[in-house]
Structure 1
């Protein structure tokens, strides 16, 4: 079973609804998932938010975060994911921001993508963040990033439900083991 089919199946089996907040992938995460028939029952929305103003307006990303850490940062991806989770009818939100190309920006190399996954489980919100580097041209980076975001959904959600993950419990504002 390929990545897209297995991700849809996982979302359906766990009755999860997904929202995405995508910068460098510009909606490709949700678009890739939507290629699979029946995926619509597991998708709430996909938001493509490129500009700082759109990130702030639609997802509440603070301008202070962007000014302090930059558009391509784990801090910004974190706020994107939390905004997508809080402002939509979803159990899990996936966000990314990065440099797909063609040129580096602010000394950040092409292919750098910051991700965040925000999940609700048992009345708590958990957050995972990571930064990855993908090789290739602009659209190669975008597709690899979209697939990576989807691939990690079962990993992070599974860790939370198995109580194996060390995650950030947003509601308690402290590090915790789920």
Structure 2
């Protein structure tokens, strides 16, 4: 609960509005954050987009990207985050895609999650991606991934403010 309260406070303090584009966690990121009273003022929306068609339809993820890099890739999570930032009233977007388990998919081990965080600041977009591996059962992976996605928002936002985050080219 402390993590969720900290992230809620950070979003409020910096007047950030969050949109999520969730595949692996299926809405758990925004649901976890929404468990904190007052968090609603910092949430724009949470989108659960599992299929390639939904990723394309709602967030403009390119089928070429999915074909070339796969559903579980930083490239796909990057496009998810960009779509969530561009198509909503958000200043920060968090996206993920991965294999929660219990079995590997397409030679990708269960517990593999690709993340992207996109920030709109001073009329520029900054984008950070990362792949992590979590252990445990399917729902353990989903919860750990949701919390990790939230935990990184303040750290990555600070890197944007300090001019150390990569610009989206």
TM-score (norm 2): 0.99
Q: Deviations over 1:64-120 (max 9, x none)?
A: 000000000000000000000000000000000000011100000000000000001
Runs (5+) with no aligned partner, structure 1: 174-178
Q: Which aligned pairs between 1:81-92 and structure 2 lie closer than 5 A? A: 81-92=81-92
Partners of 1:149 and 1:101 in 2: CA distance: 18
Quote the residue 2:112 is aligned against: 112
Root-mean-square deviation (Å): 0.8
The CA deviation at 1:166 is: 3.8
Quote the residue 2:28 is aligned against: 28
Quote the residue 2:129 is aligned against: 129
TM-score (norm 1): 0.94
Q: Which aligned pairs between 1:7-156 and structure 2 lie closer than 5 A? A: 7-156=7-156
Name the SS of the counterpart of 2:132 in structure 1: strand
Query: How many residues end up aligned between the 2 structures?
Result: 169
Runs (5+) with no aligned partner, structure 2: none
